[in-house]
Amino acid sequence: MRLKLDRLLAITMLLLNRKRVGAQELSERFEVSLRTIYRDLEALNQAGIPIVSFAGAAGGYEIMDQYRLDRQFLSLEELQSIIIALKGVGSSFGDQDISSLLDKVGALVARSEQRELNDMSQQLMIDLNPWHGGRAEKEKLGILRSAARDCKVIRFAYTSSQGDSSERMCEPIGVVLKGYVWYLYGYCKLREDYRIFRLTRIEHLTVLDETFIRRPKTLEQLDFQWARQDNHPNLIRLVLRFHPRAKARLQDYFTFGQIETQPDGMILVTATQPDEPWLYGMLLSYGADVFIVEPDSVAQTVREMAQKLIDQYQLTLT
């Protein structure tokens, strides 16, 4: 019975957040038969939730536009999750709108529940504000979000991963947080293609009067496209052996399945990475704590880079 109630609530939430959903999609999402979905939809209708069905190729089910859920459908734990998430976003953006939204969500909590809510707040916190440069990053985020919303072209100086600087004009699509780093997704007019820009490398950001018509690619589509490693043209398989003292860094960067502790205590990492300049800088940052087992080409490149460092300091000291 509990599973059915959870599914009914989940179906309701999905329909409230989507214009129209087909029965087959609901069946696959909740891993139940079509007959069960039809019974669920009928049960929701009988409970007073106005679900309308549409026939044809573009058919499906949707909830009438004016319907809204009351506070009673949200538990105190669910409200607390919303508040924690909003506070996390607010720590990075500092928007007045988010503060106002927090007040509205907080108003849904009864006074008798406030103490319990405050106790729960001590158990989890999300802080998206970086350890350094917080104010500058907030300013950039605010400017980029406004430019994306208003479809305004932006201009900025950008430093590539190779250290090359160039002036870019870009149609901003949106900003994305990956790990601890904020990125701008946009259409670069210089490259005439979609590009990712790391916010810390953006300087002299200016919003121009020029407007643009939003291109068909959405933020979600680009993120999915770029997140798939098999889309990267220069993937390379690495086998690396690390000293045990590098374990903490390895756990921060690589996934659990890529790390294997050997009987002698050494750590073997097998991973696929893009063959780009930053990769070699990353490997060199481990110093003598890493040995490149495979491939030989990467080991040779790191060896040559290390030799250049040695030669540079020999010239300085002589």
Instruction: Report the pLDDT value the prediction gives residue 303, as an integer from 0 to 100.
Output: 95
What is the torsion angle, in degrees rounded to the nearest 10, for the CA atoms of residue 303, residue 304, residue 310 and residue 315?
Answer: 170
Query: How many degrees, rounded to 5, is the angle at CA 229 between CA 198 and CA 216?
Result: 65
Instruction: Report the pLDDT value the prediction gives residue 255, as an integer from 0 to 100.
Output: 86
Instruction: Report the pLDDT value the prediction gives residue 108, as an integer from 0 to 100.
Output: 66
**Structural contact between residues 8 and 44, judged by C-beta atoms closer than 8 angstroms:** yes
- More confidently predicted of 93 and 31: 31
Q: Residue 51 pLDDT > 80, yes or no?
A: yes
Phi, psi angles (nearest 5°) of residue 214: -60, 130
Q: Would the pTM of this model clear 0.75, i.e. be above it?
A: no
pLDDT class of 261 with cuts at 50, 70, 90: very high
295: tokens are 């491939």
**Structural contact between residues 293 and 240, judged by C-beta atoms closer than 8 angstroms:** yes
How does pLDDT run across 91-144, given as a tens digit for each residue? 666 566 666 667 666 766 666 777 777 777 677 776 766 555 567 777 888 899
Q: What CA–CA distance (Å, rounded) separates 309 from 141?
A: 37
Q: What CA–CA distance (Å, rounded) separates 247 from 84?
A: 31
- More confidently predicted of 75 and 108: 75
How does pLDDT run across 298-307, given as a tens digit for each residue? 999 999 999 9
Instruction: Report the pLDDT value the prediction gives residue 79, as an integer from 0 to 100.
Output: 74
Listed residue (215, 209, 137, 212) closest to 175, CA to CA: 137
